[in-house]
Amino acid sequence: MKILVYSSKNFEIPYIEEANRKKHQLTFTKEVLSSKTAIKAIGYDAVSIFSADEACFITIEKLKEFGVKYITLRSAGYDNVNLRAALRSDIRVANVPEYSPNTIAEHAVALLLALNRKLIESNDRINRYNFNLDHLIGFDLNKKTVGIIGTGRIGTVMSKIMHGFGCKLLGYDIEHNAELVKNYGMTYASLNDLCAESDIISLHVPLNTETHELINKDLIDKMKDGMILINTARGSIINTKAVIEGLKNGKISALGIDVYENEKGIFFKDHSRDIPKDNNLMILNAMPNVLITGHHAFLTDEALTNIAETTIINLDSWASGKESENELTEIN
């Protein structure tokens, strides 16, 4: 098949080419898929997209018109794809449901440790030959209460890591994980109770109508004073303005995020020579108790390998006339 790979990054191309082994005709473009760039897919059987691409209703309609029959995502999340429109247009969609839960969970822990032990600020001081230790005090994770919102694949790994630190685990999810309850001492609680009791909260839920701005002012007001919030899931799960207010009034002592509510059009590009236009991002960047990484929690050799291999497996299935085991439907 002929595949146009949108939003291709230099670091991922070798992984995709290695997994493909010249089976499919791949064309890489740095362009982001949108209703304007969909025209580039004329003559292709399939497109491969990433989280920054937009496969909305209009884009799907155009892809159908241009003869595209398949969309394979190089991500687990698929909130950027209008599945209803794709099904109606007979365009089949598949994702990478599990590329490496350890990768994301370990990044969340890295954010937490760096914030708690003030590693960035400490290193900045050392770079200026300032060895003063004032205002660098952290705390032991041992015996602290960690709230895990979303105990699926990634949340499970995060829970096990925090259990290793000797933390008490509180969980919130529609489905309870019996393994975490039995072997790791997790207690499931209501969202309000979890927020009231947790010293640290880590988010691991998908973005949907139920989780959009789940972390809002009302919920933040219920949180334990001085808690730490970590988000490696999706940016829009938190209301950025409400979180900024929580940081200002001390309800949230530190924030670690790999995703941002308005990251589209900002992340994955070099804006170092641009004048910043996003006020909330400017405020967060200016806060010493905020650590932001640019949606790179997935950036490990293992995860990139798995993403590439699963992407090609999806294409192989379709090329042979079979349904991919990772295929998405409206009811997913």
Kindly indicate whether the domain formed by 2-99+301-328 is annotated with CATH number 3.40.50.720. Answer: yes
- Mean pLDDT calculated for residue range 288-315: 96
Respond yes or no: is residue 31 known to be catalytic: no
3-class secondary structure for 118-186? CHHHHHHHHHCCCCCCCCCCCCCCCCCEEEEECCCHHHHHHHHHHHHCCCEEEEECCCCCHHHHHHHCC
Active site residue 234: yes
Give the pLDDT confidence score for residue 69 in this predicted structure.
Answer: 98
Q: Which of 263, 273, 302, 309 is catalytic?
A: 263
295, 296, 327, 330: the active-site residue: 295
Residue ranges covered by each domain of the chain: 2-99+301-328, 101-292
Check for a shared fold between 2-99+301-328 and 101-292.
yes
Cα 262 from Cα 52, distance rounded (Å): 11
Would residue 271 show up in a list of annotated catalytic residues for this protein?
Answer: no
Regarding the domain with residue range 101-292, which homologous superfamily does it belong to in the CATH classification? NAD(P)-binding Rossmann-like Domain (3.40.50.720)
pLDDT in tens, 241-273: 999 999 999 999 999 999 999 998 899 889 999
DSSP state of 327: E
**pLDDT confidence band for 330 (50 / 70 / 90):** low
Full-model pTM: 0.92
